[in-house]
Amino acid sequence: MAFGQNDDQSMRLSGVAQAQESALDVGLRQHMLKVYNYMTSGLLLTGIVAYAGVQIPALLNLMYAAGPGGALQPTMFAYIVMFSPLAFILVLNFGIQRMQASTAQLVFWAFAAIMGLSMTHLFLVYTGTSITRVFFITAATFASMSLYGYTTKRDLSKFGSFLMMGLIGIIIASVINIFMQSSAMQFVISVVGVLVFVGLTAHDTQNIKRMYVEGEHSETASKKAIMGALSLYLDFLNLFIMLMHLLGDRR
């Protein structure tokens, strides 16, 4: 009789554990869906603003002026726009704990819009067909690596420091190449950049999954979703830019 009672108790405990695990899986999927929705809507806003920046003469004149030979040269406003996204990233990273989730959302949308303005040059330099082609290549690559980061049992955190070192190297090399204008260096930066941001996509996805806490206060959970979306947004956008340098057809 005692054996039967122990078996019943074990079955009940197993059932409770399975129910808790199932609830955790559902909550995690909802959290990740929210992250991807924020990221996708941010990318959509960036694309719309970038396209509008080329199509609306007032915005185009604000960003670029005719230089020697009729070539368009960035204005001072364009340089401010190009570097201002860094301020938004710093505000979100260091100030989100003091913000309401709704405020953090507005900052994220503003950041996505400014990023769109800073990317208008892509529509001036590359053909629309190649931009579309590279976008779908980027989307397929990103989706594959993000799925890997979500499903793999392998701990990717040990690659984080290596990937960050690669990212810092890319930033330093890119700044240097602004003055050198070396096509060979740009090629190397782009190849390394693709590898780094492919790795960061999987790493950041797993990190977002790891940071999820079941039953967490909705305000805190929303902030985590926004920060997760920001990480994946930057991975996608930088991967897209690197692939454009490698695969894009110039006008």
The mean per-residue pLDDT over the stretch 241-248 comes to 94
Q: Of all helices (H) and strands (E), which one includes residue 72?
A: strand 72-74
Residue 122, judged by CB atoms within 10 A of its CB (0-12, 13-18, 19+), counts as buried
In this predicted model, what pLDDT tens digit does every residue of 153-181 receive, in sequence order? 999 998 988 999 999 999 999 989 988 88
With a cut of 90, say whether residue 243 has pLDDT above it: yes
Percent helix, strand and coil across the chain, each rounded to 5?
A: 85, 5, 10
Q: What residue spans define the domains of the chain? A: 2-247
pTM given for the model:
0.86
In this predicted model, what pLDDT tens digit does every residue of 42-97 receive, in sequence order? 999 999 999 998 888 888 888 888 777 667 788 888 888 888 888 888 888 888 88
Q: Which of 122, 139, 133 is nearest to 39 (CA)?
A: 139
Q: pLDDT grade, residue 251 (50/70/90)?
A: confident
pLDDT confidence of residue 23: 47
